[in-house]
């Protein structure tokens, strides 16, 4: 059932989607933690594109799926708890619905917490759009001993309700077959008007009648929907009626708001939200039904968020993550390297020498096709793929939410709140999407501090360097030392920025969710989707860079280019001058620096190379990795920093990280020999 979308047949902006509207459009809506994106991926696969509004940072994922002969364009709207809020994700979601006018809206609910999720469902039903409700995470509800009566829930809401387990694809086909019928007009959905309390209904009834009589249908919604939005003083609807020549409707709405305040004692927008919450609670009563008897389950989320238990759990998780990555990566790296040397390298060398002979050209090409590819695979597959798999598992369990809650107080010392820890943790995978996610933070100050800290977090590429160099050639404890130093330096930078930059951090309000069992298939797909960028994008760069470096080496130009860097690289950091040149190449990708260094060592030492320590001392390796870890991650990160923060602030982040990396590297180049580490 799943399809893929391509840039050629999917929009790059919502405006282009409106201008070239497909025949059938389906909108997916739900809060950020109901598995909406998992459902979207089940429908469309991972080959999706994003669309956006000009000037907005929240994107809409767009993909396609086929149900029989019907092609559906599916829009995954930003996760939101409501359409009427002032947040950017709420604005983008409602404007997309208003402008695109989807044929069907799918509202994804959390089957374990219906009353909280039904508020959004009622808001969508109030718009009068064809709406299908999906109670996802039904497996989690069943695991808690609860059962969803979708028939009763559908009767209470006046809309079709389906149960799904998106991670397993259970129930998804039934949902989309029904949605296709609705989109084609073979099933007509007329969501009934949700009736709220008598005082509210008596006040809103004249306004609904006035809107209906005016004959205007802004954004294609029902008269009652327009009346409710006017009652909430929605500026978009107010403008639509004024520009449509029905300014009198706006005056009727003002009178209704005044009357409602007199009766209810609160503003109309607040009253409307309260009425929806009350209705949601009544509708959800007894659904799901949970038996009173039964074995009590341990609340893992609570254990992970209480400081007395959460901190030890976090420390154990981080240590376990590191040990798994170290030992699994070490084993895989050995297998990949030995397999390459035994089976692949002789074939590659024979082929290149057979075509180009034994001269400089052949040796230069072998830098890329032999040593470069070996270094790439021996670092990328063991460490980067393994890390993405572990990170995807943490994401799908919901543990990162608990980390954000737990870290709130600590993050305030760096001028941030707990939610900022999520993009920082995501930076352990890749700095680029992590920095993109800082746009969700509320102030420029918070975004600058968070982006700076993310730029210093060891991403998977830098983790590959730490484990592939320090961990592999020196030991596990020195590798842990690199992480510890990086964490302390980043914390110091965060505290310094908090004190130097004007302003304060805001508070954090977030909903906590129970932990969920990750699905191995979904975890594997997420890990592969992230790793394939390295495999298909970074590997060619590594090969080409290795050939360039090989050409410089074979012609003698490498040493000439390295000489100008000697005062800093050799004089301050104590490294071989040529190692500094590989650090510069590492701006393309961090693991590229180590791969080129290994390639250089292999080419320099020849058959005698079996250990990086025969090319550099332990202190050299440690300092090299430390500088590589703390400095700006890569040119892709710089580009994203420019997009998110502006080029001036991006330059500031780059300057801060490079300066700190050189200062800390030079300090440890002098400190380690004093501690007895071979220099």
User: For residues 315 and 202, what is the distance between their CA atoms, to the nearest angstrom?
Assistant: 57
pLDDT value, residue 3: 47
Regarding whether 532 and 423 lie in a shared domain, the answer is: yes
Dihedral angle, C-alpha 139, 142, 148, 150, nearest 10 °: 40
Tell which of 265, 295, 316 closes a domain. 265
Q: Please give the residue that has the higher pLDDT: either 546 or 105.
A: 105
* Lowest model confidence (mean pLDDT) among 144-153, 352-361, 503-512: 503-512
Regarding whether 240 and 324 lie in a shared domain, the answer is: no
> How far is C-alpha 439 from the chain's CA centre?
12
Regarding whether 70 and 29 lie in a shared domain, the answer is: yes
| Range 177-184 average pLDDT | 91
Question: Does 288 fall in a domain?
Answer: no
Q: Does position 489 have pLDDT exceeding 90, yes or no?
A: yes
pLDDT tens digits for 358-409?
Answer: 888 998 898 788 877 876 777 667 767 777 788 778 777 777 777 777 777 7
Kindly give the pairing relationship between strand 131-136 and strand 25-29: unpaired
Q: Please give the residue that has the higher pLDDT: either 489 or 417.
A: 489
**What CATH number should be reported for the domain holding residue 177?**
3.40.50.300
The b/e string for 285-323 (b: 16+ C-beta within 10 A; e otherwise) is: eebbeeeeeeeeeeeebeebbeeeebeebbeeeeeebbe
* Lowest model confidence (mean pLDDT) among 99-103, 131-135, 323-327, 574-578: 323-327
Q: Please give the residue that has the higher pLDDT: either 73 or 113.
A: 73
Tell which of 119, 151, 183 closes a domain. 183
Q: Does position 656 have pLDDT exceeding 50, yes or no?
A: yes
Question: Does 259 fall in a domain?
Answer: yes
Q: Using pLDDT thresholds of 50, 70 and 90, give the confidence band for residue 112.
A: confident
- 494, 504, 466, 412: which is closest to 621 by C-alpha? 466
Total of domains in the chain: 3
Q: Please give the residue that has the higher pLDDT: either 67 or 307.
A: 67
Structure tokens at 411: 């993050």
- 106, 103, 76: which is closest to 92 by C-alpha? 76
Q: Does position 321 have pLDDT exceeding 70, yes or no?
A: yes
pLDDT value, residue 646: 84
Q: What is the DSSP letter of 86?
A: S
Q: Using pLDDT thresholds of 50, 70 and 90, give the confidence band for residue 641.
A: confident
Regarding whether 129 and 97 lie in a shared domain, the answer is: yes
Regarding whether 93 and 117 lie in a shared domain, the answer is: yes
Q: Does position 234 have pLDDT exceeding 90, yes or no?
A: no
- 54, 56, 64: which is closest to 4 by C-alpha? 64
User: For residues 463 and 382, what is the distance between their CA atoms, to the nearest angstrom?
Assistant: 11
Q: Please give the residue that has the higher pLDDT: either 49 or 344.
A: 344
| Range 660-668 average pLDDT | 94
Question: Does 293 fall in a domain?
Answer: no
pLDDT value, residue 104: 92
Regarding whether 398 and 344 lie in a shared domain, the answer is: yes
Tell which of 152, 183, 214 closes a domain. 183
| Range 72-88 average pLDDT | 82
Q: Using pLDDT thresholds of 50, 70 and 90, give the confidence band for residue 2.
A: very low
Regarding whether 468 and 338 lie in a shared domain, the answer is: yes
pLDDT value, residue 438: 80
Regarding whether 168 and 235 lie in a shared domain, the answer is: no
Regarding whether 565 and 534 lie in a shared domain, the answer is: yes
CB atoms within 10 A of CB 568: 15
User: For residues 581 and 146, what is the distance between their CA atoms, to the nearest angstrom?
Assistant: 61
Q: Is 417 left (phi over 0), alpha (psi -120 to 50) or beta?
A: beta
pLDDT tens digits for 519-576?
Answer: 777 778 777 876 776 677 667 766 777 788 778 778 878 777 777 888 898 899 998 8
pLDDT tens digits for 411-436?
Answer: 777 777 676 777 787 777 677 667 77
Dihedral angle, C-alpha 305, 307, 308, 313, nearest 10 °: 60
Q: Which residues contact 617 (CB under 8 A, 6 or more apart)?
A: 678, 679
pLDDT value, residue 58: 66
pLDDT tens digits for 579-632?
Answer: 877 887 777 667 667 777 877 776 666 555 567 777 788 999 999 999 999 988
Question: Does 50 fall in a domain?
Answer: yes
CB atoms within 10 A of CB 511: 12
Question: Does 193 fall in a domain?
Answer: no
Regarding whether 169 and 235 lie in a shared domain, the answer is: no
Question: Does 423 fall in a domain?
Answer: yes
pLDDT tens digits for 45-69?
Answer: 655 555 555 555 567 888 888 888 8
239-248, 432-441, 446-455, range with greatest mean pLDDT: 446-455
Question: Does 192 fall in a domain?
Answer: no
Regarding whether 252 and 357 lie in a shared domain, the answer is: no
pLDDT value, residue 294: 44
Q: Report the interhelical angle of 223-231 vs 198-214 (nearest 10°).
A: 120
User: For residues 124 and 82, what is the distance between their CA atoms, to the nearest angstrom?
Assistant: 9
For residue 135, list its beta bridge partners.
109, 163
Sheet holding 104-110, edge to edge: 49-51, 60-67, 70-76, 25-29, 104-110, 131-136, 161-163
pLDDT value, residue 492: 92
| Range 508-512 average pLDDT | 51
pLDDT value, residue 251: 87
Structure tokens at 62: 């767009």
Regarding whether 666 and 591 lie in a shared domain, the answer is: yes
Q: What is the extent of the structural domain holding 137?
A: 14-183
Kindly give the pairing relationship between strand 104-110 and strand 70-76: unpaired
> How far from 526 is each of 114, 366, 386, 522, CA to CA, in Å?
28, 33, 12, 6
Q: Which residue has the tokens 């000697």?
A: 566
Question: Does 143 fall in a domain?
Answer: yes
């Amino acid at each position: 059932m799943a399809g893929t979308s391509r840039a050629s047949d999917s929009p790059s902006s919502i405006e282009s989607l409106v201008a070239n509207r497909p025949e059938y459009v389906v909108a997916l809506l739900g809060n950020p933690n109901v598995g909406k994106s998992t459902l979207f991926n089940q429908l469309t696969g991972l080959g999706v594109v994003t669309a956006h509004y000009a000037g907005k940072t929240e994107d809409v994922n767009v993909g396609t799926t086929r149900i029989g002969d019907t092609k559906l364009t599916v829009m995954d709207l930003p996760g939101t708890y409501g359409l009427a809020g002032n947040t950017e994700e709420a604005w983008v979601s409602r404007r997309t619905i208003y402008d695109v006018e989807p044929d069907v809206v799918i509202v994804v609910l959390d089957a374990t917490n219906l009353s909280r999720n039904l508020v959004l469902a009622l808001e969508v039903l109030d718009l009068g759009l064809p709406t299908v409700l999906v109670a996802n995470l039904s497996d989690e509800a069943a695991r808690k001993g609860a059962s969803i009566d979708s028939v009763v829930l559908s009767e209470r809401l006046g809309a079709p309700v389906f149960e799904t387990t998106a991670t397993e694809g259970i129930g998804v086909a039934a949902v989309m077959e029904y949605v296709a019928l609705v989109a084609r007009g073979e099933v007509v959905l007329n969501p009934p008007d949700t009736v709220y309390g008598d005082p509210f209904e008596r006040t809103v009834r004249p306004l609904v009648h006035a809107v209906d009589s005016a004959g205007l249908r802004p954004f294609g919604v029902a008269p009652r929907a327009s009346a409710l939005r006017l009652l909430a003083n929605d500026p978009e609807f107010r403008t639509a009626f004024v520009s449509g020549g029905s300014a009198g409707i706006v005056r009727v709405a003002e009178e209704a708001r005044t009357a409602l305040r007199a009766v209810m004692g609160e503003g109309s927008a607040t009253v409307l939200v309260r009425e929806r919450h009350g209705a949601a609670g009544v509708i959800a009563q007894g659904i799901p039904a949970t038996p009173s008897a039964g074995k009590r389950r341990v609340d893992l989320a609570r254990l992970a968020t209480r400081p007395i238990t959460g901190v030890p759990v976090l420390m154990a998780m981080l240590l376990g993550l590191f040990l798994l990555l170290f030992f699994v990566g070490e084993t895989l790296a050995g297998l990949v390297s030995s397999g390459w040397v035994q089976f692949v390298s002789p074939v590659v060398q024979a082929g290149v020498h057979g075509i180009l002979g034994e001269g400089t050209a052949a040796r230069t090409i072998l830098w890329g096709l032999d040593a470069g590819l070996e270094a790439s695979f021996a670092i990328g597959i063991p460490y980067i793929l393994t890390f993405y798999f572990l990170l995807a598992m943490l994401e799908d369990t919901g543990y990162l939410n608990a980390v954000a809650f737990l870290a709130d107080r600590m993050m305030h010392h760096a001028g941030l709140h707990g939610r900022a820890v999520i993009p920082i943790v995501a930076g352990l995978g890749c700095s680029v999407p992590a920095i993109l996610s800082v746009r969700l933070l509320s102030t420029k100050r918070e975004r600058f501090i968070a982006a700076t800290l993310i730029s210093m977090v060891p991403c998977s590429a830098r983790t590959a360097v730490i484990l592939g160099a320090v961990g592999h050639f020196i030991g596990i404890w020195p590798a842990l030392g690199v992480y510890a130093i990086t964490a302390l330096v980043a914390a110091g930078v965060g505290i310094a920025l908090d004190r130097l930059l004007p302003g304060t951090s805001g508070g954090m309000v977030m909903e906590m969710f129970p932990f969920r069992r990750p699905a191995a298939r979904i975890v594997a797909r997420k890990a592969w989707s992230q790793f394939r960028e390295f495999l298909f994008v970074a590997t060619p760069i590594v090969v080409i860079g290795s050939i360039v470096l090989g050409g410089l080496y074979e012609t003698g130009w490498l040493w000439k280019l390295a000489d100008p860097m000697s005062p800093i690289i050799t004089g301050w950091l104590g490294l071989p001058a040529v190692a500094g040149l590989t650090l510069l190449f590492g701006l393309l990708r961090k693991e590229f620096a180590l791969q080129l260094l290994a390639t250089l060592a292999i080419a320099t030492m020849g058959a005698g190379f079996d250990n990086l320590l025969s090319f550099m001392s332990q202190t050299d390796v440690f300092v090299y990795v430390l500088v590589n870890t703390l400095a700006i991650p890569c040119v892709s990160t710089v580009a994203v920093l420019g997009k998110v923060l502006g080029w001036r602030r991006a330059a500031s982040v780059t300057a801060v990280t490079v300066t700190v990396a050189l200062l800390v590297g030079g300090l440890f180049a002098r400190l380690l020999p004093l501690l007895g580490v071979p220099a």
